[in-house]
């Protein structure tokens, strides 16, 4: 069985680069450094022109997943915009203050996104009982769960990922993500039942200013993370060689 690679990006250049170098699907965000927020209308418009499926992150605020009614309405309007612009899916998640998935609010978003593919994002990774959260996601008809196994790096969360795969039925996909690289993807794929993986494939880019303000240009604040086409290609190749 072939393994699908989803690459998360926060720019149109990153989206194009990932698609051109073999990614099978894009998770489109803004502010990946903040864990991923809803992309802009313009970015959604241009990413919808790609030849591979695009799922948009629907998250209006960083730092938590406990969204109020105003934020719920914002997310629903953003979902509408994604549908109107032809995206294939959305990436959502809502919790209570204690980290438990918020059944009613999550169901409201799932219902609103009817007809689109749905990924439950890493709000899952703050839930106190991941196996219970899995059952709730299955009940809601969510297509996949993006998870690091509730660890900072997916490599440290493989035991939980394997437990989730053993627990789930065939109607939901467990998609490992967080720290996946060409070097460690074979360790992840050694777990039976993984059909999709999620990676950022980023490298640091420093500006090449030619102005006479070298001290500003050298400032670390002007560096940024970009989608690295070589990292995407190497990851694609290593996934293919493992299968």
Residues 47-90 pLDDT 10s:
999 999 999 999 999 999 999 999 999 999 999 999 999 999 99
Percent of the chain residues topping a pLDDT of 70: 92
CA neighbours closer than 13 Å in the CB half-sphere of residue 124: 30
Least confident range of 141-155, 193-207, 227-241: 193-207
Least confident range of 41-45, 161-165, 201-205, 220-224: 220-224
The C-alpha atoms of residue 84 and residue 228 are separated, in whole angstroms, by: 30
Percent of the chain residues topping a pLDDT of 90: 85
175, 124 in Cβ contact below 8 A?
A: no
User: What φ, ψ does residue 16 adopt, rounded to 5°?
Assistant: -65, -45
The number of distinct structural domains making up the chain is 1
pTM of the model: 0.92
Residue-wise pLDDT tens digits, 186-214 = 999 999 999 999 999 998 887 665 555 55
Does the pLDDT value for residue 217 go beyond 80?
no
Does the pLDDT value for residue 216 go beyond 70?
no
Give me the domain span that covers residue 24.
4-242
204, 176 in Cβ contact below 8 A?
A: no
Distances (CA, A) of 99 to 27, 29, 67, 75, 172: 23, 22, 12, 19, 21
The C-alpha atoms of residue 217 and residue 215 are separated, in whole angstroms, by: 6
Q: Which of residues 217 and 76 earns the better pLDDT score?
A: 76
Rg (CA), the chain: 18
Average pLDDT, the chain: 93
The C-alpha atoms of residue 59 and residue 36 are separated, in whole angstroms, by: 7
CATH number at residue 171: 3.20.20.380
Mean pLDDT of 93-109: 97
């Amino acid at each position: 069985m072939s393994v699908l690679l989803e690459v998360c990006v926060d720019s149109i250049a990153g989206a194009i680069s990932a698609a051109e170098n073999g990614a099978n699907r894009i998770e489109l965000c803004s502010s990946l450094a903040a864990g991923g927020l809803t992309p802009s209308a313009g970015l959604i418009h241009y990413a919808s022109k790609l030849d591979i499926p695009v799922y948009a992150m629907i998250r209006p605020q960083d730092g938590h997943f406990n969204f109020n009614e105003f934020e719920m309405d914002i997310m629903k309007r953003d979902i509408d915009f994604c549908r109107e612009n032809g995206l294939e899916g959305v990436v959502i998640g809502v919790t209570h203050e204690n980290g438990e998935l918020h059944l009613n609010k999550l169901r409201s978003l799932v219902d609103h996104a009817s007809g689109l593919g749905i990924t439950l994002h890493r709000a899952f990774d703050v839930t106190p009982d991941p196996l219970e959260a899995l059952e709730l996601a299955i009940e809601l008809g969510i297509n996949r769960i993006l998870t690091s196994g509730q660890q900072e790096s997916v490599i440290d969360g493989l035991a939980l990922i394997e437990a989730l795969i053993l627990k789930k039925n065939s109607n939901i996909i467990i998609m490992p993500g967080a720290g996946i690289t060409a070097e460690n993807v074979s360790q992840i794929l050694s777990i039976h039942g993984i059909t999709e993986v999620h990676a950022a494939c980023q490298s640091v880019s420093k500006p090449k200013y030619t102005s006479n303000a070298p001290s500003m240009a050298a400032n670390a604040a002007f560096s940024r993370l970009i989608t690295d086409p070589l990292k995407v290609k190497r990851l694609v190749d290593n996934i293919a060689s493992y299968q």
